[in-house]
A and B are shown apart, each in its own frame.
Chain A
Amino acid sequence: MTTLTRVIFSVCSILALAAPAFALQPPAGQSEFVPMNSLPPADQLPAAPLLIAAYAFVWIAVMVYLWSIWSRLGRVERDLQALQQRTGRGSTR
């Protein structure tokens, strides 16, 4: 094997071994800033509707639960009063 053949073989071997390393390189970085409104619609996710939905849910949940307790309490107190009148007892409140 001549010296030239050895050099060519060595260079080819190194390139062949290095190929996977080149293939695993991260993609080239973004070379310019992309304005938010230029993103494709699938990549755009505005935060405000999520924030509003979260706060609205908390408010609605509190209101609905308060109303639920109040209506159940009203029903039980009506029943209690009716029963007290029927049995001739005074109010426990």
Chain B
Amino acid sequence: MKKAFGPLLILTAAMFACAPFLIAAAPYEATMGLVQKIFYFHVPSWFAMFTGVFVCGIYSAIYLFRGTPAADRVAFASAEIAVVFGLMGLVTGPLWGRKSWGVWWQWDAHLTMALLVELIFIGYLLVRKYGGPGSEKLGAGVAIFGMANVPFVYVSANIWRTVHPPTSVVPTLKPVMAGPFWFCVSAFMLLFALLLMLRLRLENQRAALDALYLEEE
């Protein structure tokens, strides 16, 4: 994993450097115009957020049922990254909405549920930081609950009345828009993997430090 870090860092940096050129070359959307180009970072940031939520939820379940401390470390690292990507989605969305809907925010089903998932994972981080002994299991429960909310966020744009575009937009993208979009999704996924490797190293070193302190005592 250590060997893969350097090439992954270079590849991710190169992709993020190329992304603005591809986005600039993509055609303007007919009704929204220039501001729709926020889409190329907004949607991938939610994809990365949901990936982080699923990694956190799955590893939390492994920790709960098998008691593996390594699984808990992956879950904790992934939750923090999910919150960062969620914050990107929650900031870039209103910037797009202000121009295309005329408002920064709407308390409709999709937007509210996305905010709720972000708040659940902020709650998870707070539980882990201030929950004291045993907060690992409580946090794991919160993470599984948060992960269960993700499918509802995804379908909420299709089944309830919402100002948000439905999820059918992505599969029906024209190739000139789909190319830059999937390129950005790949860049965000690589960034997620990179951040997870780094953040996991921090958790492993913390665990090693704690073990040494315990041995010394």
A contact set with B: CB distance below 8 Å: 45, 47-48, 50-51, 53-55, 57-58, 61-62, 65-66, 69-70, 72-73, 76-77, 79-80, 83-84, 86-87, 89, 92
Contact = CB atoms under 8 A, between A and B. Distances in A.
B216 A69 contact: no
A62 B88 CA distance: 9
Interface residues of B, number: 32
Interface of B: 20, 33-35, 37-38, 41-42, 45, 84, 87-88, 91-92, 95-96, 98-99, 191, 195, 198-199, 201-202, 205-206, 208-209, 212-213, 215-216
Contacts of B35: 47, 50-51
B34 A51 contact: yes
14 contacts: A47-B33, A47-B99, A50-B35, A50-B95, A51-B95, A54-B92, A55-B20, A55-B38, A58-B45, A66-B198, A69-B198, A80-B212, A83-B213, A87-B216
B202 A54 contact: no
Top 7 A-B pairs ranked by shortest CB distance?
A47-B35, A47-B34, A54-B92, A54-B38, A54-B95, A50-B95, A76-B205
Most chain A CB atoms below 10 A, which of B34, B199, B202: B202
